[in-house]
Structure 1
Amino acid sequence: MKATSWLAVILMVLNIGCTSHTDNGIKIYPEQPISTDYIGNGVQWSAYPHADTENAEWGKLMTDGKWDMNYKRLDYMQPKLFRVLDQANWRYMVGFDEKGEPILDFDTPEVKAVEKILDYAQKNNITVLLGEWGTPYKMHDKDQGNSDKFTGANDPKWINAIVEYLDYLINTKGYTCLKYYNLVNEPNGDWASTKGDFNEWRDGVILLSKALKDKGLDRHISVAGPDAVTRYDNPRSTYSGLGWVEETARQIDENIGIYEIHDYTAHDLVKSGEFELFHKKAADIAASKNKQIIFGELGMNRSGQLNQDRAKADPYASEDSQMEVYDHSYGVYMADAVIQSMNAGFSGAAAWALDDAMHTMNDLGNKNELKRWGMWNSLGTEICNNPDDENIRPWFYPWSLVCRYFPGGTSIVKTDSTGIDGVRLTAGVFEDDVTVAVVNNSDVDNVISLNIPTSKAMQKFLYVEGESKLDDNGFPVAAEKNIKAKKALKVAVPSNSFVLLTTLDD
């Protein structure tokens, strides 16, 4: 920010109160929860199917050193939610017998690669949403001659294979972090293995739920759904995107452990605040069933012409890339979206995605078609001949903070509105600690007054382009500490910024 802009902000702090409120400031109401037992925010983390083992297309490029780099960065982030999706034939389905029955092997190098993620989640008490992209050989690897081996998402053979895998992971390996299961990714999509057939997906969920119960696994894991892209309406599907949530609740709620949706949302929807209003419809459906709801995938829309031009200009990016991950603005929009989701009643969000190195276009393994959505690229050196691509990108700053300082078990509570266009906040109460996240998704510097109900000292983090404080690892550093919360605490919120205040210690 230019010095003149900062001077304006300082003058505002000294001389101007929050114009939309009295001197008491914007109030936070701990006794009025929006949601309780918040699961927390996190990331989509896949086990690098192109680079996880010697058998992979690229070989074992994900060395122990590469994994350790990710672990170290996640240690700072402290995510509370992982979504981990795969395909059975990438990991444990190694063939078919003479009767066409799948042959399962849980002792493969590929399964051990997944266990690297699960080991980390288990150690750090992270909730894991596991699942598969779609029916084997109907979503990926269609050219391998096995597309007739399963009829669809409701094929008992596939359901039984899933349950055997979960039994191994939960009962043999002891992964209590596994809480939820996705049967098919975005089943309402015309790109999904279900092609938007609600009945096929529904019947598969019913079979899976029953099979989990028969195996005694329902005590540990349940189905997450519908996993629909709620702002997408497939003309081939009987129901709209939001209709998938409505019909899941109406037809098979007893088979669903948690409601879960996706959105690659429009920038203007977030900036206007309409994101919260739209998604509250889904949150209200879940609440009517006394169940939680999360975003299994959350990101910003990639279809704009500028973004597509940037992707084309990058020799390693596929068209399914969000090049804004290199920009400060992406952190502002993602922070804004998650703040609105919390106020709408969601219990967490997994950002897509942690790492560019996880996926390629259609997962064909083409090195010049990375899905660039990550907070870094673990294989920047090996794939892109660019070690700098392994560096942490700007949006790690706000996203790591909304993971780190909204612990599992937090109550998200009501607050007053700021009354200022583009300036929004959310607050969480965890035991006797309070965290307040504020975003200014506008081009205007602002100051707000906060009435924070705590006597504990607070620290403040400030995400401002070019001026965010970082340590030698690239991790956020508090801009200010030992702040005494008081009636009408003045907080400068510069344009296009994110501010987090918390009583939680580092």
Structure 2
Amino acid sequence: MQSRSARWRAHAVPLVVAALAGSLLAPSAPTPAAAGEHAVDSTWRGLGYNQDPLFRGAGDDTPGNDEWTDAAFQQMTQRVDYIRPGLVRIMINRPWFNPSGVVGSYAWDTPQMKNVFRVLAHYRQQGTSVVTGMWGLNDRAFYTSADAARLQADLMAKFRDQGYSNIVQYIGINEPNSGTGLKYGDWVTATTNLRTAFGAAHLDANLIGGPDTAEAGIAAQEGDLGLMSVPVRNAGTDQNLVWRADGLTGFSARLYRTPDDTGADWTFQTSKNGSTWTNLTVAQSGPVVTYATTPWYRVDVSARTVPTGTNYLRLTMPKRDGIERAVSTITLTTAVASITDPMNDLTQTVSHTPGWTYPGGSAANDWWLQSALDRQVAQHEAHFYVHEVDLGSPPDYPEAVVAEAVRQLKAADGGSVILGETGMKAPGDGDDKDYSFTSEYAHGVRMADLAVQEARAGVDGAMAWCLDGYDKAVQCGMWDHYQSPGKATLRPWFYTWSLLCRYLPSGSRIFAPAQPAGVRVLKAKLPASAGGGWTFVLVNRGSSPATVSMTAQTGTITLDKYVYSPDRAPADPATGFPVPADSLRASFDNGHDLTVGGNAVAVFTTAH
């Protein structure tokens, strides 16, 4: 029996994600607006990818010792020119330009650097913005030294002198919080040194971004970067946080715990004078697992009234070896006000015992927000991978998670927020990671879904891992560039990712309309450089077709319709590049129906 298509009216609405609202498993739908256009709060810089700038010749087992052949370079540039990325991340290895290890003595004519310069020159010619930085530098003594800062400033000065003005951000080392042994304070020291070195080299310190941390763990606490954690394995006594609110009438709370904690022994007490305490009985929800490699469990404490005359509330976390717990938010209510403490510092508490760490408690969570609150960098950048492939987590959780993290970062200092790496977490570890999922048809839908959710969540840009692979063991790309031209087959996700890079260009104004269940919806007002028209994107994770009524003040326009579905993905036979499946002429001023098939992506655009 043929299934009926779902119908949904998707007017322009604001994206609303509150720290205390709803469950990650069932995120609240955006709230419809009565009228008018409501844009996502972002300065859109576009989608792109990570790229290894080296050429790895098929006949040479030594990575990077070959210069690009003209044929291989032409294949790569033809494909990236079709993609039209908004952002490209290209990281540099120290031995490529400093093989001697002596700071100040550089070799800019190595095969590796010739490759780097050739790739950068092409992106400069195309007007593509580049984010760069360095792999490695993980030795703490060197990383925190003035020499390391000078090394990086000398690299950026060389790029400046070569005329690569399209380099828009320098992010230092890759994932300093992931298996390096470095601490946040080390990154602060290195970044402070880097600003000094940039100044000495007459480089703009506002180019410095970061901290380039591995933030996949934000899913463990649903995007809440401001948690106060109690690592009780080293605590000698009970840990307390105390709030004062004269005339307190009630409170509610959200807490998290690690899997090995029952969460049964944290307690709340009230006091009239701050010295005599009375235990409170509270009702709390059952633990709800979150989605991460190491999941935490969310527990909500229901709204609770307190005795008349209460002026103090205390949360006590008893000593328990080997576990970690965190408080996400506390909302205090009086007769005249309701105040929510987001727990991103301790200024709203009147006293506390030692042992609380800020924020997050986990190295995967605490650098991004801390750097924003400290005003360490002007451009915020980190990595976010989702667990749909390796853990089977629901595909609809990234938007709420990322939106909460972005909200906190932008509230801290208003800086830009980009994802320097994004994609699906590969099963396995290290060299044993299995990237076979990148060759599946479904990966084209997964990556389009992720891009739409991240754009709706308010990021200013995101770069997929990766363009064309890093070596034969890391088959993460849209093709593998170590294969000879003519044999470097495009993987299915090239189809959708290239369309979204191309037709959601930098400078677009992003909108997040209401969405039917299982369907992701995005619309974008394009900049004048792209014709000033519109792009509408529908991603359907369900098996049945869906129809969405899209509203925008367009007048009568003509759009190309691109389709990526199990039985239809029209492409140029010579290049494999997407071609329109159809065209549409309509006005969206009063709403117009758009359709997308099951397990499919549809992109409607006025751009060419």
TM range (shorter): 0.7 to 0.9
Match of 2:419 in 1: 295
% identity of equivalent residues: 23
More helix by share: 1
Pairwise CA distance, 1:498: 0.9
Q: Which of 112, 123, 140 is residue 125 of structure 2 equivalent to?
A: 123
- Other structure's SS at 2:577 match: coil
1:404 has 2:502 as partner: yes
Counterpart Cα distance in 2 of 1:223 and 1:370: 32
Computing the radius of gyration from Cα coordinates, the structure with the larger value is 2
The residue correspondences of 1:71-150 to structure 2 (distance < 5 A) are 71-89=77-95, 91-96=96-101, 101=103, 103-135=105-137, 138=139
Counterpart Cα distance in 2 of 1:282 and 1:269: 22
Counterpart of 2:420 in structure 1: which amino acid? G
TM-score (norm 1): 0.80
Match of 1:345 in 2: 458
Pairwise CA distance, 1:343: 0.8
Gaps of 5+ in 1: 139-149, 309-316, 360-368
TM-score (norm 2): 0.67
Match of 2:69 in 1: 63
- Other structure's SS at 2:402 match: helix
Of stretches 399-408 and 431-440 in structure 1, the one that deviates more from structure 2 is 431-440
Pairwise CA distance, 1:37: 3.3
Match of 2:520 in 1: 424
| Contact 1:30/1:413 (<8 A) preserved | no
Match of 1:494 in 2: 597
| Contact 2:563/2:603 (<8 A) preserved | yes
| Contact 2:55/2:64 (<8 A) preserved | no
Q: Which of 153, 158, 166 is residue 177 of structure 1 equivalent to?
A: 166
Counterpart Cα distance in 1 of 2:604 and 2:587: 10
| Contact 1:325/1:395 (<8 A) preserved | yes
The residue correspondences of 1:266-345 to structure 2 (distance < 5 A) are 266-267=387-388, 271-288=394-411, 289-303=413-427, 318-345=431-458
Q: Deviations over 1:45-83 (max 9, x none)?
A: 112275499994475274121111010011111111110
Counterpart of 2:572 in structure 1: which amino acid? D
Q: Deviations over 1:84-118 (max 9, x none)?
A: 112111x2102145xxx552222333211101221
Q: Describe the shift of the 1:346–1:399 C-alpha distance in structure 2 as closer, same or farther (beyond 3 A).
A: same
Q: Describe the shift of the 1:440–1:68 C-alpha distance in structure 2 as closer, same or farther (beyond 3 A).
A: same
Counterpart of 2:193 in structure 1: which amino acid? L
**Alignment RMSD:** 2.9
Match of 1:314 in 2: none
Of stretches 444-453 and 119-128 in structure 1, the one that deviates more from structure 2 is 444-453
How many residues align? The count is 439
Q: Describe the shift of the 1:443–1:72 C-alpha distance in structure 2 as closer, same or farther (beyond 3 A).
A: same
Match of 2:21 in 1: none
Counterpart of 1:120 in structure 2: which amino acid? H
Counterpart Cα distance in 2 of 1:213 and 1:293: 24
Q: Deviations over 1:342-391 (max 9, x none)?
A: 111101111100112x23xxxxxxxxx52010101122359xxxx64x11
Q: Which of 433, 436, 461 is residue 536 of structure 2 equivalent to?
A: 436
Of stretches 284-293 and 483-492 in structure 1, the one that deviates more from structure 2 is 483-492
- Other structure's SS at 2:593 match: strand
Match of 1:446 in 2: 546
Counterpart Cα distance in 2 of 1:393 and 1:117: 22
1:250 has 2:373 as partner: yes
Match of 1:373 in 2: 476
| Contact 2:512/2:522 (<8 A) preserved | yes
1:469 has 2:475 as partner: no
Match of 1:186 in 2: 175
- Other structure's SS at 2:122 match: helix
Q: Deviations over 1:117-154 (max 9, x none)?
A: 21111111111110111207x5xxxxxxxxxxx72421
| Contact 1:43/1:81 (<8 A) preserved | yes
Pairwise CA distance, 1:257: 2.6
Pairwise CA distance, 1:404: 0.5
| Contact 2:67/2:115 (<8 A) preserved | no
Match of 2:341 in 1: none
| Contact 1:52/1:110 (<8 A) preserved | no
Pairwise CA distance, 1:490: 2.0
Counterpart Cα distance in 2 of 1:92 and 1:54: 21
Q: Describe the shift of the 1:165–1:54 C-alpha distance in structure 2 as closer, same or farther (beyond 3 A).
A: farther
Match of 1:395 in 2: 493
Counterpart Cα distance in 2 of 1:341 and 1:330: 16
